[in-house]
Amino acid sequence: MPHLQVKNVPEETYAALRRRAASEGTTIRDYVLGVLRRDLERPPLHEWLERVDRSRPASGVTIDEIVAATDAAKDEIEGAASP
């Protein structure tokens, strides 16, 4: 079986992993393997977005337009919150 080693893990990240594994009654190794497995069960974000785009009813609005409108709204809100 292949081995995977992760070097230079920040102390706070390692401590959080240790706590999370302990809270689930498992080892850090088994906890991290579970995290990796769950992540790999999900499609990459770009594939998921393509599926959503193909499955949505034709509205004439593209995902890029929605993202642009969302970004503009955030900018507007942030601008209004500034003194």
Spatial neighbors of 12 by CB under 8 A, at least 6 apart, are none
Query: Does the global pTM surpass 0.95?
Result: no
Give, for all 83 residues of the chain, the pLDDT tens digit: 999 999 999 999 999 999 999 999 999 999 999 999 999 999 998 898 888 878 877 677 888 888 999 999 998 888 776 65
Specify the pLDDT at position 2: 93
Specify the pLDDT at position 11: 97
Nearest to 51 by CA among 63, 39, 67: 63
Domain-by-domain residue ranges, the chain?
11-41, 45-81
Nearest to 25 by CA among 12, 34, 14: 34
Q: Are 49 and 63 in contact (CB under 8 A)?
A: yes
Specify the pLDDT at position 81: 65
Q: Are 17 and 32 in contact (CB under 8 A)?
A: yes
